[in-house]
Amino acid sequence: FTQAVARAMALAAGADDAAAVSLDHPDLAEEVPWVRRAFPAAKTLVALVARMHPESIRSPLRSVANHEFHQTGEHMDRVARALTRALTDRGHRALNPAMAFPMEMDDFPGRTWIVSHKRVALAAQLGRMGVHRSVIHPRFGSFVLLGTVITDAPLVDAPDPLTFNPCFGCNLCVAACPVGALEPDGAFHFSACYDHNYREFMSGFEDLLEDVADSRDRRALREKVSASESASMWQSLAYKPNYKAAYCLAVCPAGEDLLGPFLRARAEHVRTVVKPLLDREEPVYAVAGSDAEAHARKRFPHKKLRLVRSSLRPASARAMFRALPLTFQRGPAKGWRATYHFDLTGEGAVQATVEINDGRLSVRDGLVGDADLRVTADAALWIDIVTHRRSPVLATLTGRLRARGDRRLLARFAACFPR
């Protein structure tokens, strides 16, 4: 099984580009247990690329953009299935995970995907990661969706190396994001993107259900959730979930097919592609006290800010510490420094050291060095406190939560992870 054979079979199945990579590639080490869990015989991953139509993704009418996402996603699933069948006909075993959904929700909000299509595409040299955290294909740019076929066919050669980075750092994606999920220095606010852009994919539905449960009657619910929001959520449930923005892809001029026109008419690109998205009046979803809220208020005062609960709700103490870098807010962490020790006992016990240093975060296993504040509690109780099911004050008064050191740092810690 060679690169040439893999690519020819993928193109025949309908892919716009493809390459194969061995599962033992060092950049795929994190994928191995998940891939093998789904398909123990796995040896090779075939990365697939399906091209989207740029003008559809760029449209300020997001139903047009989302229709293109859906159509291309469905096409990718058909391509992956056709390739799996072709491999089977050649005597190989093969498996095609979904391009996006359905996923395995048993570990939600932990990892739900079988294989990271982005990571596989990067290892297969089909692109480079852009500032916007999406893969940029050297020819098609950001206007691609990715898929992966897993097979037991042993790969005998490596993909040709991609010798340049299609992302040239224009930072238009930074300017276009309504919640400031991207920063010029390369920082990425995962939770900001997830809470807004992916609202109708997963946790936004849970948020809506909680609004229903918390409302005393229909009038109270209508004050919380507008008719257009309810209709949008229902449309996502009926016709596949819709991105709220994805502007980072829409404005990206990278890629051989797109770069020339952009370089010849930058001002025209900004006027016709970027500005309509910036000027668009729309709801922006952000957690109260988050960097996203501050960004939206300052940068997009004409957009309707909608404060919501965090979509990332940890199911265990260990999951919480894994997720801290995803929910960390740099704004409340600026201008001070502290080291925290967390000694959480009982079922799901965990010890962790968290350091906040002038807008930067470090999370390590174990109790490392000296702490400015040491927190001791039952792990289950701590998760209840973090998710606002229990009062930290009552837990402290009853001795179930013990904080040794500067207790004011506990409130500062909470401000860096608003929920």
Q: Could you report the per-residue pLDDT of 255-277, keeping only the tens digit for each?
A: 999 999 999 999 999 999 999 99
Residue 18 pairs with which residues in a beta bridge?
Answer: 48
Look at phi and psi of residue 63 and say left if phi exceeds 0, alpha if psi is from -120 to 50, else beta: alpha
Tokens representing 260 are 């020339």
In which band, very low, low, confident or very high, does the pLDDT at 387 lie, cut at 50, 70 and 90? confident
Coil vs helix vs strand at 144? strand
For residue 351, the SS3 value is: strand
Statement: residue 107 has pLDDT above 90: no
Q: Is the pLDDT score of 71 beyond 90?
A: yes
pTM: 0.91
- Rounded percentage of the chain residues whose pLDDT exceeds 70: 100
Characterize the bridge pairing of strands 44-51 and 144-151: antiparallel
Give yes or no for a contact between 94 and 152, defined as CB atoms under 8 angstroms apart: yes
State pLDDT tens for residues 118-169. 999 999 999 999 999 999 999 999 999 999 999 999 999 999 999 999 998 8
Q: How confident is the model at residue 59 (pLDDT cuts 50, 70, 90)?
A: very high
Nearest of 418, 345, 398, 407 to residue 374 by alpha carbon: 407
Instruction: Name the token pair of 116.
Output: 């990271």
Question: For residue range 25-37, what is the model confidence (pLDDT) as tens digits?
Answer: 999 999 999 999 9
Q: What tens digit of pLDDT does each residue of 239-255 get? A: 899 999 999 999 999 99
DSSP designation for 220: H
Q: What is the pLDDT of residues 321-375, one digit of tens each?
A: 998 999 999 999 999 999 999 999 999 999 999 999 999 999 999 999 999 999 9
Which residues, in sequence order, are bridge partners of residue 141? Answer: 137
- Give the residue, 106 or 395, on which the prediction is more confident: 395
Q: In this structure, what DSSP letter does residue 63 have?
A: H
pLDDT digits (tens, 9 = 90+) for 273-312: 999 999 999 999 999 999 999 999 999 999 999 999 888 8
Helix ranges (DSSP H) in 255-378: 256-264, 266-269, 275-279, 291-299, 317-327
Confidence check: pLDDT of 49 > 90: yes
SS3 content of the chain, % helix, strand, coil (to 5): 40, 20, 40
Largest CA distance in the chain: 68
* Cα dihedral across residues 189, 192, 196, 199: positive or negative: positive
pLDDT at 305: 95
CA dihedral sign, ordered 110, 362, 245, 259: negative
Q: What is the mean pLDDT of residues 160-188?
A: 93
Of 245, 303, 301, 294, the residue nearest 274 (C-alpha): 245
Which residue would you say has higher pLDDT here, 223 or 145? 145
